[in-house]
Structure 1
Amino acid sequence: MAQKKASMAINTKANYIVISFTGDLEYGVIEDIKKDLQALKLETKLGYIIDMQKVMNIDSTGFGMIVNFAKMVSVKEKRIAIIVVDDFIRNLFAISQCDKIFPISKSEEEAKQIIQNGWSSELSLNEY
C-alpha cells in the first residue's frame, strides 16, 4: 500500500489567493499543512479560492482544517470558494454538509466570480 501524502501550494493573484491541495487531506497526513495554513497572512483584496482538483480523499480532519481556516478568513471579512471537480470528493462535501457552508465551483473562473459577487450559504460557519 502506498504511503499517503498531502501538499499545499499558494498562488497569489491580483485580487485573491489560490490555495491548492494535493493528495489525501486526512488525519496523520496534514499536520504540517494545518500549521502552514494557520500561519498564512490574510492579505488579499477579495478572498481565497481553495483548489481541491488534485485531492484524492478528505476526512473529518481535512474538513475541520478548511472550516477553521474559513473562520480565520471570515473575521477579516474575506470570502472563500472551493473548486471541486471530482464526483467522489464532491459527494464527501455533501455528506459532511460542507457544501451548505461553502460555495463549490468547477473552475477557478467560476470561483473567482463567487468571491467577487458573494454567495448565500444554507448554513453559517457558526451553525455548522
Structure 2
Amino acid sequence: MAELKKARSVLAVRDLRTSVAFYCENLGFAINAEFDGWCFLSRDGIQLMLGHCPDEIPASQINDHSYFAYIEVQGVDGLHKEFLDRGLKSFSAPESKPWGMREFMVTTPDGHRIMFGEDVDSPQRRRSD
C-alpha cells in the first residue's frame, strides 16, 4: 500500500529576497537550497518551496481564503514569544479555541496566512473524540 511521507508547501511570492528574509529572520527557517527563481526552506519538520512569481496577484489581493498552512506545534506560547523577540509585527496573540486548540496567526509579506496551533485539553474536545 502507498504511504504518504511528508508535505511541502509551494508558494508563489512576488519578491523572493523579501520573502526569504521574512521566513528566515522572523520565523526561524533556514535555507536548504537555492535555484534560479526558487528557494527551499525548512524549520524542524516544515518545508517550504518559495517560487519567484513577480507577475502573480499576491494573496493579500485575491479576496479569498489565503491560509496556506496550519502548523501544529508544541509550545505555542513560547513560539509566539520567540516571534515577538524576533521583531515580527504582523501576527495575532495566542487564543484558546473551543475546538481544543490554542492558536495564533502570522501574515507573510505576500498576504499568505499561517496558523500555528497546539492541542490543549478541553471539555469540548473530549466530547468530540
TM class by smaller structure = under 0.3
Q: TM-score, normalised by structure 2?
A: 0.28
Richer in helix (by share): 1
- Larger Rg computed on CA atoms: 2
| Structure number with higher strand proportion | 2
TM-score computed with the length of structure 1 as normaliser: 0.28
